[in-house]
Chain A
């Protein structure tokens, strides 16, 4: 059963009532069909009202939904023959990032993504999807392997951010992220990045320097969490809702700003309501993107990627 978010409550209550009436009709033989039809129409209206006008803060909540599909969920539905690879060959294997080789409609590709857990136990082993340097270095190792064997790279982004810990700093969290940014710019294969949950700052960017950046409709991508921004800017983390509005972190906003290339629609109510359908639409976008990128030469791919990031920024000249 899905965990419901507070703004979904009126709809959930209505749906529960419909269910109850149906049960009554079945079990007690009292005919509530007319009432059910009336309420179903009402529920449909209400759903359109709620999900058709999601506020940035509501999207933040959906992006963090405990049942939000993870990288491994999408890998299972979009690709075949996934073979997971482990370790950065320098320090360890960071389970908050998964990666390996898989087939996309038959073509071998390298797939990498942040991995959040499904329950508390898994979340602890995966550090809630927050990577240490070895996670980014594993990702880089797999990307260079892809580059060597001429495989396109697909990344899935879903992290609160890089892990803020003592060991992470000691092992060079900054350098690990920075190195990925530089090396990804140099890859001579197509790179498509899909932000499908939380795109948290440098920890998200570290596997997101692609030719195309896609975002699921209810994902967020931000320089700092809304809570963090509120704490820093207004010294009050409860103003996170306000920060979410001001900071332009939703897919529609980032599409407008030219930061992302495509917004992938989600099923009504969010990706977790229909992971199969969601996977299908991601797959279609990936195939379309690769069709455009695959004919490009290594140099063209690098140039396209460079120019894409180079043009981000707004300024004026002193008059």
Chain B
């Protein structure tokens, strides 16, 4: 009975071996918050009205667990009027450079499921009146993996930030490289990082915000290269997968391993910022990087 009321079961794109972690960090949930009237927190089990959860930016009021936001919801939560003034390169689509079996079908499925063309959206908008270039990845599309289109859209967004001398903010949410594009995918790491080198040379601000999950090739390229590195609470962030590390070192890893808090403790982040404070914090930081012309 209760089960029915709370809609679909959680679905996991990958199956973590260790069940405690499954509760702690759901890797990818197809539909984190069902359309139903009520919602049960997958993290602490408390029950909320779905409407309230939406209002609370999909953060559980009881345990503060941050559920995954779609890229459009993220833009809504950040920019003035809830959307870009100018969206960039929305028409770029992946093709199948390696003729990898089944890749096109998977892209089609995700397009239908998410209503997106690819795993990142980019554009220019206003953050409390300040123009910024913003990119937001979407982990629901091919796990947010980086193929040609993701790499190209991010690179072009960085190039525009450089030309327009506007701060660049990027929200990462990605499982890493997109295997079906092989080496072309790996090279997007070098490409985006090289673009950031140019942005940095022009002394334009880049703020990287890592959300759940930011792993593999995305973590090992642009996501780690912010002038300021921020993460959302509880986000899974790391280079290698937990299971691979456990198999390699034959040792169980601590519960908080590769969480935002773990990275903060180890000196890899400037701060962990609650979703409800994100817009204010980013606006404040951007404002402090505008040219100071005196009182």
Contacts and interface: CB of A to CB of B under 8 A. Distances in A.
Interface residues of A, number: 52
A185 interface: yes
B95 interface: yes
Interface stretch (B61-69, B216-224, B270-278): B216-224
Interface string B226-250: 0000000000011111001100110
Contact of A202 (B155, B200, B217, B266): B217
A310 B182 contact: no
A317 B118 CA distance: 12
Most buried by A among B189, B190, B193, B258: B190
A111 interface: no
B95 A168 contact: no
Given A181-B190, A185-B190, A223 B217 contact: yes
Contacts of B98: 246-248
A166 B245 CA distance: 7
A259 B183 contact: yes
B283 interface: no
Contacts of A310: 155, 191, 194-195
Interface string A297-318: 0000000011001101111111
B267 A181 contact: no
Interface stretch (B32-40, B77-85, B133-141, B146-154): B146-154
Contacts of A246: 98, 100-101
Contacts of A314: 95, 97, 148, 184
A309 B187 contact: yes
Contacts of B224: 172, 174-175, 178-179
Contacts of A312: 148, 184, 187-188, 191
A62 B74 CA distance: 48
Contacts of A316: 92-93, 95
A152 B48 CA distance: 62
B177 A164 contact: no
B190 A209 contact: yes
Interface in A239-260: 246-249, 254, 257, 259
Interface string A192-217: 00000000011001101100000000
Given A165-B248, A175-B224, A249-B182, A315 B191 contact: no
A166 B249 contact: yes
Contacts of B148: 312-315
A209 B192 CA distance: 12
A157 interface: no
| Interface residue tally on B, bucketed by range | 35 or more
B174 to A, nearest CB: 12
Given A181-B193, A259-B187, A224 B93 contact: no
A248 B193 contact: no
Most buried by B among A169, A186, A209, A317: A169
B239 A248 contact: no
B92 A174 contact: no
A216 to B, nearest CB: 16
A172 B240 CA distance: 11
A257 B184 contact: yes
Given A166-B251, A315-B94, A315-B95, A171 B187 contact: no
B201 interface: yes
B253 interface: yes
Contact of A313 (B187, B198, B258): B187
Contacts of A309: 187, 190-191, 194
Contacts of A179: 224-225
A223 B186 contact: yes
A102 interface: no
A182 B200 contact: yes
Contacts of B223: 174, 178
9 contacts: A173-B220, A173-B238, A178-B219, A185-B198, A209-B193, A246-B98, A247-B98, A257-B97, A315-B149
Given A164-B244, A173-B220, A247-B183, 20 more contacts: A164-B248, A168-B239, A172-B267, A177-B239, A178-B221, A178-B223, A183-B197, A201-B186, A201-B217, A222-B183, A222-B186, A247-B98, A249-B183, A259-B183, A306-B195, A306-B198, A309-B194, A314-B148, A315-B93, A318-B117
A-B pairs, 9 with minimum CB distance? A164-B240, A313-B148, A181-B193, A185-B194, A318-B91, A178-B224, A174-B219, A185-B197, A177-B220
Interface of B: 90-95, 97-98, 100-101, 117, 148-149, 151-152, 155, 177, 179, 181-191, 193-198, 200-201, 216-217, 219-225, 237-241, 244-245, 248-249, 251, 253, 257-258, 266-268
